[in-house]
Amino acid sequence: MSLRDPNCVFCRIAAGEIPSKKVYEDDDIFAFHDIHPWAPVHFLMVPKEHVTSMAHVGPRHEPVLGRMMALAGKLAQQEGARPYPEGGFRVVVNTGADGGQEVHHLHIHVIGGPRPWLKG
């Protein structure tokens, strides 16, 4: 499925048009390092399809969101998060203005690694 917004920075990153440090890619999902990390591990996971926010998610998105959640922990460890329970990681989805969303393409922040962190 190719439902891209040509003006969306995360659509362009997922398509390889804007460079990023890739963590993972398959047909439906792209993961890459956050450009301003707040912790030793901080990457973003996005559906390749343009979905504006978590508020725009419907039944059609359940498979890809489920796969993203199931992958998050594996990728976090691959990127340097220590195992549960001493280690672990945080998953954040900022949504809308009150939720602090700055980029309007649904993304899951996966944050981890030994503290201190810059935020959180």
Determine the Cα–Cα distance for residues 30 and 10; give it in Å rounded to an integer. Answer: 9
The DSSP output letter for 48 is S
Residues annotated as catalytic are: 107
Given the complex with ligand 5GP, which of 85 and 116 has the nearer CB atom?
A: 116
Report the alpha-carbon distance of residue 10 to residue 97 in Å, rounded: 18
Instruction: Name the one range near Zn ion by CB under 5 A: 5-13, 24-32, 68-76, 94-102.
Output: 5-13
Nearer to ligand 5GP among residue 36 and residue 115 (C-beta): 36
By CB under 6 A, name the binding residues for ligand 5GP.
9, 20, 32-36, 94, 100-103
